[in-house]
């Protein structure tokens, strides 16, 4: 492997570097030869004969022709490239779309290895944002890409791969379709939470400034090579209370309570090593109501940055935070040296906590009370009074439990299970044991009753540092103040832009029956103003995430408007679509302004 490539992967994708180094290549399968133009090309043995991945005459011209025929769909932000070869087409794509990011899926490890031996990634792709995925982490990486880019991803396929790797391409599309099927759920979640995420992020920012970031400020040496227990609130938690009390008493492993489990633990005098919470809803405070009522001030609480802000009010114990992917404000405020670790948002706090624990360096994780199913149609363990829901069987279906018996679950729990399986698959260096009696079978875990875990695994006492959380926030206050000043300026610019664009819309409305030429000129003015709004930092950071569903709806409608030739019909559709959008934009601006001004005042006080 070229030293440039080894250094690039060591810094950016160490796991892939290790995989390539560990792979034993078939030396005869992939060959490099020079073309008549003096450029290297690649051929691969498929069956009994060799086939060229690129032109054996002029691979650069060929790549340019292929890329020129590629039509990037509107609003796409990321290109998933199927097939690497020697990267001629990728070089052409990065030049044509310099503002986009790219992921390369190479199904043939021999090709990837040969490319890394032949072509410098830095020389070929420069500073383009490029990552690689392989077969063994495909599904999880696709899910993360979809979450990051909100499905604004387009696949580019090199013709050679489309022809010779049809099975792998079909599998890729199947995974993409599976991800898209969750769109309905995603939209429902966005509609419910898109405003709350931002309100919470703003309201929680002062607490974040004053509390340690668990992924940044806490010493990971406390956790490296240690064991962690994720305690969820499933009915099987009732069977494990004595075992958990024993584990806590002797410090056998770190105990992290997720969601409602803290209520059952507190009722049984078990204080976990941390409470984890992230739900953006206002009623999330109920989860830790018992802790507050009993004035327990010794349990650290790790909160997601977009958790319902009410949850943090009057919490007397130590606080730490983790930044979640739904928080668009934190990167603007807290990013230093172009980097900020965050946790992907997920359907449950257990999934968020799993990501956090693997990032902290735990090498063994035990799941307790993670039923992901129903026992006697009951959702929660005893000790949880605020939700005594008995679930109807109408929406339930059967899956296998840890003993391969049939058990009932629903779509929400099943999605959680599938996503947890994906996370586990993507963290092969972490051993995961499911101790949940009668719980859903989780691929990638080994079922082991908790009493056996204590007997055979957790044999060393005093593994927990009782003061693991005692660190200070290490954010740069001067940098935060500077970032706030930039946000203030962009807020003022946005207000002016909003006035100007509404003025243009009014001219379009008034000129509806006038000349076509005048109306078209106003459409051009509108496009320019609208582009300025979309590039405004305040809009991008604060407002856009609050109207993401409306933005997606507008994007679909705008395509129809763009290609409408009848000027009167075009104007009517325009006023309907963009008029409504701007009205909603103005509404969310007025709604969020008191919160953002409160944040500005708080930072000003911090500055002193």
Per-residue pLDDT reduced to its tens digit, 524-555: 999 999 999 999 999 999 999 999 888 878 88
Separation CA 243–CA 448 (nearest Å): 13
Which range has the worst mean pLDDT, 9-18, 183-192, 570-579? 183-192
What pLDDT is recorded for position 320? 98
Is the pLDDT at 205 greater than 50? The verdict is yes
What pLDDT is recorded for position 386? 47
Separation CA 421–CA 443 (nearest Å): 6
Asked whether the CA dihedral 478, 484, 490, 495 is positive or negative, the reply is negative
What is the DSSP code (8-state) at residue 310? G
Which range has the worst mean pLDDT, 122-126, 335-339, 574-578? 122-126
The position carrying tokens 């100007």 is 500
User: Which residues have a Cβ under 8 Å from the Cβ of 96 and sit 6 or more positions away?
Assistant: 67
Predicted TM-score of the model (pTM): 0.69
**DSSP E strands, 417-560:** 431-434, 446-447
CB count within 10 Å of CB 281 equals 15
What pLDDT is recorded for position 518? 82
Task: Report residue 115 as tokens.
Answer: 């490319």
Q: How confident is the model at residue 174 (pLDDT cuts 50, 70, 90)?
A: confident
What pLDDT is recorded for position 28? 84
| Mean pLDDT calculated for residue range 483-490 | 95
Short-list 284, 301, 294, 256, CA closest to 387:
284
User: Which residues have a Cβ under 8 Å from the Cβ of 6 and sit 6 or more positions away?
Assistant: 17
The kind and range of the H/E element at 68 are helix 59-69
What pLDDT is recorded for position 394? 58
Which range has the worst mean pLDDT, 87-101, 225-239, 271-285? 87-101
Is the pLDDT at 106 greater than 70? The verdict is yes
More confidently predicted of 379 and 417: 417
Which range has the worst mean pLDDT, 10-14, 283-287, 414-418? 10-14
**DSSP E strands, 516-575:** none
What pLDDT is recorded for position 202? 97
**DSSP alpha helix (H) spans, 281-410:** 289-293, 329-334, 349-360
Short-list 466, 491, 489, CA closest to 542:
491
Which range has the worst mean pLDDT, 180-184, 482-486, 588-592? 180-184
**DSSP E strands, 182-317:** 227-231, 254-258, 274-277, 301-304
What pLDDT is recorded for position 25? 72
| Mean pLDDT calculated for residue range 64-74 | 91
Is the pLDDT at 519 greater than 90? The verdict is no
Percent of the chain having pLDDT more than 70?
A: 92
Separation CA 135–CA 153 (nearest Å): 19
| Mean pLDDT calculated for residue range 366-371 | 96
| Mean pLDDT calculated for residue range 393-414 | 86
What pLDDT is recorded for position 392? 55
More confidently predicted of 355 and 511: 355
| Mean pLDDT calculated for residue range 424-444 | 95
| Mean pLDDT calculated for residue range 426-433 | 96
Separation CA 218–CA 360 (nearest Å): 9
What pLDDT is recorded for position 513? 52
Mean pLDDT of the chain: 89
Is the pLDDT at 128 greater than 70? The verdict is no
Residue 311 · residue 285 · CB < 8 Å: yes
Query: Residue 213's beta-bridge partner residues?
Result: 321
Q: How confident is the model at residue 147 (pLDDT cuts 50, 70, 90)?
A: low
Model pLDDT for residues 259-294, shown as the tens digit of each residue: 999 999 999 999 999 999 999 999 999 999 999 999
Q: Which class for 118: exposed (0-12), middle (13-18), buried (19 or more C-beta within 10 A)?
A: middle
What pLDDT is recorded for position 495? 96
What pLDDT is recorded for position 380? 53
Short-list 304, 299, 316, 390, CA closest to 343:
304
The kind and range of the H/E element at 368 are strand 364-368
| Mean pLDDT calculated for residue range 420-426 | 94
User: Which residues have a Cβ under 8 Å from the Cβ of 49 and sit 6 or more positions away?
Assistant: none
What pLDDT is recorded for position 152? 81
């Amino acid at each position: 492997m070229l030293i440039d490539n080894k250094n690039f992967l060591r810094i950016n994708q160490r796991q892939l570097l290790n995989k390539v180094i560990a792979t034993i290549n078939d030396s005869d399968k992939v060959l490099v030869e020079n073309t008549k133009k003096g450029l290297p090309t690649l051929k691969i043995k498929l069956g009994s004969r060799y086939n060229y991945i690129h032109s054996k005459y002029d691979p650069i011209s060929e790549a340019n022709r292929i890329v020129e025929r590629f039509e990037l769909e509107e609003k796409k932000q990321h290109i998933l490239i199927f097939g690497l070869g020697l990267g001629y087409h990728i070089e052409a794509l990065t030049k044509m779309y310099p503002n986009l990011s790219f992921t390369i899926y190479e199904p043939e490890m021999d090709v990837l290895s040969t490319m890394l031996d032949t072509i410098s990634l830095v020389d070929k792709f420069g500073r383009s944002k490029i990552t690689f995925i392989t077969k063994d982490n495909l599904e999880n990486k696709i899910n993360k890409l979809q979450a990051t880019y909100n499905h604004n991803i387009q696949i580019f396929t090199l013709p050679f791969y489309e022809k010779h790797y049809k099975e792998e391409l079909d599998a890729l599309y199947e995974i993409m379709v599976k991800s898209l099927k969750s769109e309905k759920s995603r939209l429902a979640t966005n509609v419910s939470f898109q405003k709350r995420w931002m309100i919470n992020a703003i309201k929680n920012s002062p607490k974040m400034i004053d509390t340690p970031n668990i992924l940044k400020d806490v010493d990971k040496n406390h956790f490296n090579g240690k064991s962690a227990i994720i305690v969820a609130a499933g009915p099987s938690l009732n069977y494990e209370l004595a075992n958990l009390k024993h584990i806590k008493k002797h410090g056998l492993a770190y105990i992290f309570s997720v969601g409602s489990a803290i209520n059952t633990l507190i009722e049984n005098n078990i204080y976990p090593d941390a409470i984890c919470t992230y739900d953006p809803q206002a009623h999330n405070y109920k989860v830790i109501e018992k802790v507050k009522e009993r004035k327990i001030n010794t349990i650290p609480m790790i909160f997601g940055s977009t958790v319902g802000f009410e949850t943090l009010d009057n919490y007397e114990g130590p606080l730490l935070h983790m930044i979640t992917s739904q928080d668009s404000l934190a990167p603007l405020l807290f990013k230093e040296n172009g980097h900020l670790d965050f946790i992907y948002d997920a359907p449950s706090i257990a999934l968020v906590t799993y990501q956090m624990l693997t990032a902290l360096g735990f090498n063994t994780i035990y799941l307790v009370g993670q039923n992901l199913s129903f026992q006697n149609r009951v959702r929660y363990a005893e000790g949880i009074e605020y939700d005594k829901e008995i679930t109807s069987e109408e929406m339930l279906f059967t899956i296998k439990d840890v003993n391969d018996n049939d058990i009932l679950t629903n779509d929400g729990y099943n999605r959680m299970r599938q996503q947890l399986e994906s996370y586990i698959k993507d963290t092969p260096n972490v051993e995961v044991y499911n101790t949940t009696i009668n719980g859903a079978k989780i691929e990638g875990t080994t079922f082991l009753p908790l009493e056996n875990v204590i007997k055979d695994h957790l044999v060393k006492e005093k593994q927990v540092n009782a003061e693991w959380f005692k660190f200070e926030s290490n954010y740069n206050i001067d940098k935060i103040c500077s970032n706030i000043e930039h946000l203030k300026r962009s807020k003022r610019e946005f207000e002016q832009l909003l006035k100007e664009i509404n003025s243009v819309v009014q001219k379009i409305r008034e000129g509806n029956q006038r000349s076509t030429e005048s109306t078209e000129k106003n459409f051009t003015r509108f496009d320019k103003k609208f582009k300025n709004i979309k590039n405004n930092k305040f809009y991008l950071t604060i407002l856009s995430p609050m109207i993401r569903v409306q933005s997606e709806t507008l994007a679909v409608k705008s395509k129809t408007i763009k290609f409408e030739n009848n000027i009167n019909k075009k104007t009517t559709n325009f006023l309907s679509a963009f008029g409504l959008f701007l009205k909603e934009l103005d509404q969310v601006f007025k709604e969020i302004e008191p919160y953002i001004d409160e944040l500005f005042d708080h930072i000003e006080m911090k500055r002193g």
